[in-house]
Amino acid sequence: MPSFKILVLPGDHIGAEVIREAVKVLRAVEAHPSVAKQSIKFDLDFDLLGGQSIDVHGIPLTPQVIEKAKNSVAVLFGAVGGPKWGMTGALRPETSVLDLRKALNCWANIRPCKIPSPGVAKCSPLKESLVSGTDFIVLRENLGGVYFGEKKEELDYAHDVWGYHRWEIERISRMAAYLSRKHGGPKGPSKITSVDKANVLAVCRLWREAVTTIHDREFPDIPLHHQLSDSLALIMVKNPRSLNGIVMCDNIFGDLFSDEAAAVAGSLGFSPSACLSGIPGEPLSTGMYEPSHGSAPDLPPNKANPIATIQSAAMMLRYSCDLDFLANAIDEAVSIALDDKASGGLEVRTGDIGGTASTTEMGDAVVTALLQVLDKAESNAMSESARL
């Protein structure tokens, strides 16, 4: 297999800490004998973004970083921002992330909502009986809608235009279909829940009609359900398991419901994300992978939860590198590292989820579990080969 060129942008404050642990996991994957013999390599190129870039270059995002990102299979990013760079306008560190997504044309945002281990289901603000088994993905159209519409702001009146072209809705619908098949696996495609407010908004009536039309024409085998946005907000906290599958939203609804989904999981430390510029495997498709949390400048050193960043790296292997078996191994390792000792886990947890482990210790626990998972997989493969 060829090496995978990956641009790594740690960013500011805890961004560097959590990225360090994700890189540690990738290096552990690469070094395992079962992986090394397949010649799988990760060519990691590190650069600056956000405040760190401002300190060195005077701007939060340089043209050189944009060019590197365009020439990489994927971008793995930490977090940016902090009081040191209390600037406004184009010099705000946070603009670097938006500008990079725009430069890469990352129109599809993917945010999984899944309890990473049975032992941490109690971290959710919802009852454990409600959240156990929850496994859905919030898919957000990322470059259209009201956030990118015409704006007018006067002293006593303001408006934002909320519009979509049919082709934008069709594009995100095709991504939903891809994710549905990926998510469902051998059991068949998962349900797609399309979110709108078609009983009130014209743009949402187009959304529903376009989604239905392309679904019936191109992927009629995939279950499709339309859900009004206000009732979805209720369902997500009352019965999140009923949403298992793909929850497809426009830009503003996706913004709202992806954050609600993170709360369901119990911590932003359990909320990885991906921004894709195309359906994986298609030409000119690249991805940007990052935790959903911010840079947490007030957090003491080595206290951040790196799980979301490690899971983002797993998503990168799944969607940008087509290495599902390694992505699954990392997810399993995360589950073992977090799970109760009584259930066979390592029970290592950072402070945000009721533990005392440092960022480094959490990453080390995932690596320890990962080596066990890969060793077991290699042993099973050898046994199966001998049997045949």
The pLDDT of 88-95, averaged and rounded, is: 82
- pLDDT given for residue 284 in this prediction: 66
Q: pLDDT at residue 388 above 70?
A: no
Residues 203-211: contacts with CB within 8 Å, 24+ apart?
203/145, 203/162, 203/163, 203/164, 203/250, 204/250, 206/164, 206/166, 206/169, 207/164, 207/169, 207/250, 210/166, 210/169, 210/170, 210/173, 211/169, 211/173, 211/248
Question: Which of 376, 321, 328 is CA-nearest to residue 116?
Answer: 328
One-character DSSP codes across 94-142: THHHHHHHHHTT--EEEEEEE-S-GGGGGGSSS-HHHHTT-EEEEEEE-
Return phi, psi of residue 10, to 5°. -60, -40
What's the whole-model pTM score? 0.94
Neighbours of 87 (CB within 10 A): 14
Q: pLDDT at residue 1 above 60?
A: no
DSSP assigned state of 156:
S
Q: Where are the domains of the chain?
A: 1-114+271-388, 125-140+168-265
- pLDDT given for residue 281 in this prediction: 82
Quickly state the pLDDT bin for 192 (edges 50, 70, 90).
very high
- pLDDT given for residue 372 in this prediction: 97
Q: Which residues are catalytic?
A: 147, 197, 230, 255, 259
> Which tens digits make up the pLDDT trace of 307-346?
999 999 999 999 999 999 999 999 999 999 999 999 999 9
Fold for domain 125-140+168-265?
A: Rossmann fold (3.40.50)
> Which tens digits make up the pLDDT trace of 12-35?
999 999 999 999 999 999 999 999
The verdict on domain 1-114+271-388 having CATH code 3.40.718.10 is yes
- pLDDT given for residue 118 in this prediction: 93
Say what percent of the chain tops pLDDT 90. Answer: 91
CATH fold match for the domains 1-114+271-388 and 125-140+168-265: no
> Which tens digits make up the pLDDT trace of 204-230?
999 999 999 999 999 999 999 999 999
Q: pLDDT at residue 161 above 60?
A: yes
> Which tens digits make up the pLDDT trace of 281-312?
887 678 999 999 999 999 999 999 999 999 99
Quickly state the pLDDT bin for 382 (edges 50, 70, 90).
confident
Largest CA distance in the chain: 78
* Residues 368, 43, 285, 14, Cα dihedral to 10°: 60
Q: pLDDT at residue 351 above 80?
A: yes
